[in-house]
Amino acid sequence: YSWHEETGADWDLNIAERVLQNAVQELISGSPDSEQAIFCQLGDFLHWDGLQAVTPTAKNILDSDGRFEKLTDIALEACLNVVNLLLGKHKKVHVIMAEGNHDLAGSVWLRLIMKRLFSDNKRVTVEDSPFPYYKFCWGNTFLGFHHGHLSRIKQMPGKFYSEFAAEMGQSEYRYLHTGHLHLKEVIEDAGVVVERHPTLNARDAYGARGFSKTIRAAQAITYGKTGGEISRNVVYPRDK
């Protein structure tokens, strides 16, 4: 939840639902048809993780909008809509529901529910690993995903090399994706490009009071089986 008088922008569950829907539709329409799509939800999709609006570990109080049941209903419906939109464009869809520090438990049930809902759909696969470092190999391109709450951006190449040595060793292009800080940053180290992505959501009071304002955005990146990154499409929040 965010109040524009305090943070510079309004944000609630209904706004979040509309902004996500608009962004996904724009990203899909601006991307080429492909054999494989990845719905990469990089964590913290749920701002709070239970009946109390606090962070799971430190119990920091969070700004929230409404009841937890309302949050879970909208979150699950939004994820289903994204997958169905992707299926209308691409041949196959792989779903990643990454663990975030705000939704340690929520990411678990999101992952398991998505897997069961699409268990009979041969065009959909769901990453079901409880280990919060995820991979996807596409030809000679290695893609890795981690929210960023356990490894900082400069640590990620070493962490992924240690966990996925065989897969990364067989690849020519290696890309890791992270989030957590809501701030875009790209580094390259040891033959690995690590990109921290921004977010579509508005700042809450804690973020507005303690951190500089950042650009809100979402991206669709296209990778080739033999050539690494080919193109990308960037969209910004639109609540209309």
Q: How many domains does the chain have?
A: 1
CATH number at residue 184: 3.60.21
Range of 53's domain? 8-235
Residue 2 falls inside a structural domain: no
pLDDT in 10s for each residue of the chain, 240 residues: 999 999 999 999 999 999 999 999 999 999 999 999 999 999 999 999 999 999 999 999 999 998 999 999 999 999 999 999 999 999 999 999 999 999 999 999 999 999 999 999 999 999 999 999 999 999 999 999 999 999 999 999 999 999 999 999 999 999 999 999 999 999 999 999 999 999 999 999 999 999 999 999 999 999 999 999 999 999 999 998
Residue 121 lies in a domain: yes
Closest to 223 measured CA to CA, from 94, 128, 119, 133: 94
Q: Are 38 and 94 in contact (CB under 8 A)?
A: yes
Strands in 139-212 per DSSP E: 141-145, 173-178, 185-189, 192-196
pTM for the structure as a whole: 0.96
Residue 6, C-beta contacts closer than 8 angstroms, at least 6 positions apart: 205, 208
Is 199 contained in some domain?
A: yes
Span between the terminal Cα atoms of the chain, in Å: 18
Cβ(175)–Cβ(228) under 8 Å?
yes
